[in-house]
Structure 1
């Protein structure tokens, strides 16, 4: 799942900083999400999906 988030971010030419600041989450939270570590909350997943303008279903597939 983390790789999909990272790939979409890169596809949109967004930095990690742009995503975590816009999503209102911590830098480390986004890094862990993209690395497939940790257990992000549903709310965090939704916020990142919203910033990337894709559905959560598409990202977690």
Structure 2
């Protein structure tokens, strides 16, 4: 994410990353298992969980892999 982003955007992305990580942990999956289920790379999963470079398409694939609505990851 560019450094020139407002603080509120950076914080919102970090919160989304935490939601993704918690959803993964609730599903009792490792990052590697989520990689296999979602078809995303490990570095993408790590970036999403860190709140960096989150893309809608990544959230859709992660939600499908976790069996949860996308809305649960972005609330």
Structure 2 CA distance for aligned equivalents of residues 39 and 56 of structure 1:
13
- Kindly provide the CA deviation profile for residues 9-55 of structure 1, in whole angstroms up to 9, marking residues without a partner as x: 11111000010111111110000000101132x22110100111111
Stretches of structure 2 lacking an aligned partner (at least 5 in a row): 1-15
Q: How many residues align?
A: 60
Structure 2 CA distance for aligned equivalents of residues 27 and 56 of structure 1:
20
Stretches of structure 1 lacking an aligned partner (at least 5 in a row): none
Query: What TM-score, normalized by structure 1, do the two folds share?
Result: 0.90
Q: Which residue is equivalent to 2:73?
A: 59
Local SS of the residue matching 1:54:
coil
Q: Which residue is equivalent to 1:26?
A: 41
Q: Which residue is equivalent to 2:51?
A: 36
Q: Which has the larger radius of gyration?
A: 2
Q: What's the Cα RMSD here?
A: 0.9
Moved over 4 A (4+): none
Local SS of the residue matching 1:37:
coil
